[in-house]
Amino acid sequence: MNPTETIAEASGTGDSIFDVRGLKKEFDDGSVQALRGVDLQIHQGEFVAITGPSGCGKSTLLQMLGALDAPSAGTLNYRGRSLPDLADPAAYRAKEVGIIFQAFHLLPTFTAVENVQMPMFETDRPASERREHAISLLKSVGLEHRIHHFPTKLSGGERQRVAIARSLANGPSVLLADEPTGNLDSENAHIILDLIIRLHREQMMTMVLVTHDPTIAARASRVIRMMDGRIRSDSNTSS
């Protein structure tokens, strides 16, 4: 794929995945206000880039969307269900969303194929099926020759590809990525971005990607700019 290709044409289908109203998040008893009232709707199949300077609240917003933390105020619905009120947020994280971290966050004492299997422990798949599925996911990200390598023996780009394969383990409908190219050189950054775009296109996955890099944001179908815990602009590049 041409690294400069955008996915502007692949816009959302219109079904609301996330519905966020007046979302606030405070830390340290209110002395730090990371989110100061965010209103946002993300639709099925959209590729959303959230940008802004450090400390603007973009990663905090991603944490809320991933049910990694609870908001201080406001409503946050996923397909009509309130995320903070989920009885089993772990099941949501395991099956509905895949999360990609800036620092890859692979477990160092497990091989690539073992790392990819980790989320599958929360499913009914038997061990042999978990392994086969993990291998097929690693093949899909071009790492069939690295399945038995430990993270320390992989390059940064390869580690992030393993992390992407892990995020796809349980077939999520949404992929949440926090600066997925932030720790990579430009060549590997393009490879990873192309991979994310390909997944979005082929599987019609909803992508929410946090980045401070405007060139990466430019390849999304929708760019949300944040500042001081609020959304400053929300532009659909496909329109």
Partner 1 sequence: MTFLTIIVRGLLRRPVRTGLTLVGISIGIAAVVALVGISRGFEQSWAKGMQARGTDIVVSTMGSGLAPKPFDASVRDQIAAVPGVAAVCPIFVDLTSIESSSMMIVSSREWGGFSWQNLKLLSGRMPKDAMEPVVVLGQNAAEVLEKKLGDPIQIEARELTVVGIVDGGALVENGSVILSLPLYQEISGNQGKINVVDVRATAGASEEAIKKLCAEINQVVTEAKALPAGENVGNSQAYKFISAMSWGTSLLAVIVGVLGVMNTMLMTVFERKQEICILLAIGWKRSRIIRMVLLESALLGFLGGIAGVLIGSMTVKVLETLPAIHGLLEPDLSPRLMAISVAISVIVGVISGIYPAWRSSRLNPSLAMQG
Contact flag: residue 105 with partner 1 (CB under 8 A): yes
Contact between residue 221 and residue 46 where contact means Cβ atoms under 8 Å apart: yes
Contact flag: residue 161 with partner 1 (CB under 8 A): no
| Residues within window 180-239 making contact with partner 1, judged by CB under 8 A | none
Among 52, 71, 119, 180, binds partner 1 (CB under 8 A): 119
Closest separation between CB of residue 114 and partner 1, Å?
5
Among 175, 178, 206, 207, binds partner 1 (CB under 8 A): 178
Contact flag: residue 159 with partner 1 (CB under 8 A): no
Among 1, 3, 53, 109, binds partner 1 (CB under 8 A): 109
Rounded to 5°, angle at Cα 18 from 231 and 94: 120
Q: What is the DSSP string of 145-186?
A: GGTT--GGGS-HHHHHHHHHHHHTTT--SEEEEESTTTTS-H
- Catalogue the E-assigned strands of the chain: 16-27, 32-43, 47-51, 73-78, 81-82, 97-100, 174-178, 206-210, 222-227, 230-236
Contact track, partner 1, 76-95, x by CB under 8 A: ------------x-xx-xxx
Closest separation between CB of residue 62 and partner 1, Å?
8
What's 221's DSSP letter? S
Which residue, 54 or 239, is less far from partner 1 as judged by CB? 54
What's 96's DSSP letter? T
What's 108's DSSP letter? T
Place of tokens 């500042």: 227
Among 21, 73, 85, 121, binds partner 1 (CB under 8 A): 121
Contact flag: residue 99 with partner 1 (CB under 8 A): yes
Reported as type and span, the H/E element at residue 12 is none
Catalog residues that contact partner 1 under the rule CB under 8 A.
59, 62-63, 66, 68-69, 88, 90-91, 93-95, 99, 101, 103, 105, 107, 109-110, 113-114, 117-119, 121-122, 127, 130-131, 166-167, 169-170, 178
